[in-house]
Structure 1
Amino acid sequence: MTFVAGGRPREEERPRALLAEASRWWVRLLPWGVAFVLFVVLLPVTIAVLVGGYGLNGGVATGLAIGQTAPLLLAVLHPLRAWYVIFATDVVGAIVLLTVDVEGLEWPFPPMQIIGYVGLCLALGLREPRRTLLSVWLATVAAGVGLEFVKPPGAGASSILIIILGGVALVLADALRERYEARRKLVEQETISEVERGRRTLLEERARIARELHDVVAHHMSVITVQADSAAYRLPGLPADAQEEFASIAATARRSLAEMRRLLGVLRNEESGGELAPQPGLDRIGQLVEATARAGVPVEFTPCAADVPEAEALAAYRIVQEALANVVRHAPGAPTRVSVSEDGRWLTVVVVNAPPPVPPAAPLEVNDTGHGLVGMRERARLLGGTLDVGPLPDGGFRVAAQLPLTERSAT
């Protein structure tokens, strides 16, 4: 237990098991299963071999077997700690075997110890850094070479085998861990990039909306300026204070227009001449429908002849524009219905398309980033409205937006 600021205790972070971050459940359970099988198999085999093959006392053989196999279960959480115990026990066991006759037998490490040690090296390679792995292998080499100096005559040499197999296991497990880490970082980077693309899309769409709304607001400010400037000529007999008030209103409106134009200079790309044209409204939706029909998409259009505020009309036009563009891209030839209506409080825009008569083998735009849906949703949100998009049970798609008519409601 550790302490944080203020003297409050904090539990230490629980150790993670090997492969605990794997996506498949059986991969997460694999280290536990391997460690359990090794323990269950090697414990009795080690006792039997040390007692029956090497002639050790049963109690000594049992102690060595437990020290060489039980830590394999610990290796799933703490492989380095398990290595300390098993390595020390293996060296002690080699020394103990010097007290018996090992002529014709493997020494200093019997075969079952080599199997357990190789499994432990795999666990080390999956968890520990390369500096630690190098230290483990050098310790293995030092122990094997040092024990060779006291090797009994006639005993088989297993030091070279454990050095080679241990080194291969360490290298192989380290390579697997590096490959997994590289893939994990790649996935994290792709996720971050996708989030950044979404944020950039949202900011670009907001800038575009700001440019378009500037044109709408600038029109009204220009009308205010003209009316205030011409009030003295249109309304003869105005008192002097009233004329000054109108002059002040006109001056304020002109300053506001100048500030808005400076802001627009930052937001607008002057190389795009199309942005300087008047912003479209409900009366231009029919042209979108005709252009879409010429592209091979049969469209049924229900227009709205009501006089709605320019901001809402512009948003409705852009929503229909993007929805029809999506039909052309993703459902070419699909019968489509476009409906625009208002009830005095809400302007409702609905674009519904049926499944395409012949499903396209691949979308016309393979790098579609979903900018259109982001833009439609942002337009509806900024006006206080709602947007509902999604597939239909028959395979079609529906886009429905409701935009509040704020000016009409206030009136």
Structure 2
Amino acid sequence: MSTAPPPPDQAPRTPDEGSGRAGPRHMSGTPGHGLRSARDRLAAAGSALTVAVGGDRSEPLLAQAPKRWMRLLPYVVALGFVAVLIPVTTQVLSHDYGVGGGLAGAIGVAQAAPLLLAVSRPLTAWYITIVAVVLGTIPVLQGDAHHPSPWTPMVVVGYVVLCIALALRESRRTLVGIWLVTVVVSIVLGLFRDGTSQDTGVLLIVLSGGVLLLGALLRERGETQRKLVEQETISEAERTRRTLLEERARIARELHDVVAHHMSVITVQADSAPYRLPGLSGPTREEFESIAAGARESLTEMRRLLAVLRSEDTQGDLAPQPGLAHLRQLVEATIRGGVPAELSYPELTLVGQLADVPPAVDLSAYRIVQEALANVVRHAPGARTQISVGLDDDALLVIVVNGPAGEPASPIESTGTGHGLVGMRERVRLVGGTLDVGPLPDGGFRVAARIPLTEPDSPTA
């Protein structure tokens, strides 16, 4: 019996762990951290963009972006503005404001070049720019009075671009200080402006204030979303860890119930051996008494452990644990739930070979089939399901395959806690087995477990 994984072009996706969903009609996929719903992908994309834009203030803008072209984009944009503003500023100052060619070129470079520094050090770039634009205003105010002043159109454009970089990096307090300096400088320089020229001071005040405010709001909103996604990730990890611990405790309780029965038999047999086997020598009787005492001590220690592991709502749960012999009843209950399921034992008889399966393997196999059928009922109602149990050399094979859902899943079951396969994987791991799960090309899903019949630490395991 083969347990080969799906074809390469149908490799299992990363479904919702444990909820039993690998898609609209699938059961669960990878454990706990495998959430891949549309909402999670959008949240992850938004978080990545926020980290890339915000990032560490010592890093360039978009330094943490996932793609190289995104990391280079701020430099390309800044270089484009610099390449346009320097010649335009030189040309306008020379022809419209009457500034000398050399001085006009120097002013253009001083006012536009800091935009390259703004990619990584926007505040430093602002210090340089504010000094350059103030000094560059002096020849502008002395030039033709009919042109816009105190700020040239190129200064307004470059300053607004710089404000965008500032808003994406600096704190709200710093942005308020920058805007207040802009207001004061614009008002003071506006006093020296000729009344016949167009006032650009108010324009710069309004544009810079609007850009700084909008950028700060967007950045703070992005940071809030990023922190929310981080908190959700931490909460999901904690839920996965808690579920794993609860499942381990449950497995320990069940194994206690299985092992306690055999220990009790050993105790009874050791105590009754002197009466059932007459003529035993003294050392032999002492050996049996030692075996009985050790078994009773082990039972006492197991009961103490059980008292710690059992929660308040399970202290009265002392029913015998199910096994492969109960699979028929489990399948019949699933069929009554509306899932056409079929159980088969290829080349085996339940009373024969499977009757000697170790208790831990017996219980684990039953729980795997139980969880797989529960996932079918929840997430693929009406899907035809095939349960196959057999032996492969020294291992037990359990395969549960379901087809596409025969009817829409209930809205209540459309989402899960993300832990449906945690118990399966933990059980298989504890007994030294392997678990293979994944979607099928026809829209169904498969769960295949291979559990060794020998101890995991034995040479034949």
TM-score, length-scaled by structure 2: 0.80
State the Cα distance separating 1:177 from its structure 2 match: 0.8
Verify: 1:384 aligned to 2:426, yes or no: no
Aligned partner of 2:334 in structure 1 is 292
Deviation, 1:31, is 3.3
SS of residue matched to 2:313: coil
Q: Structure 2: how far apart are the matches of 1:124 and 1:161?
A: 19
- Whether contact under 8 Å (1:319, 1:376) holds in the other structure is yes
Q: State the 1:208 CA deviation.
A: 0.9
> What is the count of residue pairs matched by the alignment?
397
> Is 1:136 paired with 2:184?
no
Q: Which amino acid aligns with 2:291?
A: I
Counterpart in the other structure of 2:215: 173
State how far apart, in whole Å, the 1-side matches of 2:459 and 2:151 are: 91
Is the contact between residue 140 and residue 163 of structure 1 (CA under 8 Å) also seen in structure 2? yes
Gaps of 5+ in 2: 1-55
Q: How does 1:387-406 map to 2 (within 5 A)?
A: 387-406=435-454
Partner of 1:275: 317
Secondary structure, aligned partner of 1:18: coil
- Answer yes or no: is 1:53 the counterpart of 2:101: no
Check the 8 A contact 1:295/1:328 in 2, yes or no.
yes
1:41 aligns with 2:41: no
Distance 1:324 1:138, change over 3 A: same
Q: Which moved more, 1:208-217 or 1:364-373?
A: 364-373
3-state SS of paired residue (2:109)? helix
- For structure 1, the 5+ residue unaligned runs are 1-12
- How do residues 11-410 of structure 1 correspond to structure 2 at under 5 angstroms? 15-21=58-64, 30-98=73-141, 100-151=142-193, 154-272=196-314, 275-303=317-345, 304-305=350-351, 306=353, 307-343=356-392, 345-358=394-407, 360=408, 365-406=413-454
How far did residue 202 of structure 1 move?
1.3
Alignment partners' CA distance in 1, 2:300 and 2:344: 40
Give distance in 1, aligned partners of 2:280 and 2:393.
37
Matched residue SS, 1:406: coil
Deviates more, 1:71-80 or 1:146-155: 146-155
Paired AA for residue 342 in structure 1:
L
| Secondary structure in 2 matching 1:247 | helix
Contact kept in structure 2, 1:102 and 1:152, CA below 8 Å:
no
Q: Return the TM-score normalized by structure 1.
A: 0.89
What secondary structure sits across from 1:54 in the alignment? coil
Q: CA separation in 2, counterparts of 1:171 and 1:192?
A: 32
Larger Rg: 1
In the aligned structure 2, how far is the partner of 1:299 from the partner of 1:186?
43
Compared CA separation, residues 270 and 276, structure 1 to 2 (3 A): farther
Partner of 1:6: none
> Match for 1:352: what amino acid?
V
Write the distance in 2 (CA, Å) between the matches of 1:238 and 1:27: 86
Contact 1:47–1:61 under 8 Å retained in 2:
yes
| Greater Cα shift, 55-64 or 333-342 | 333-342
> Residue 90 of structure 2 aligns to a residue in which SS?
helix
Q: Which digits, 9 at most, give the CA deviation of each residue in 1:231-289, with x for residues without a partner? A: 22122222233323322222222121111111111211343377310011111011011
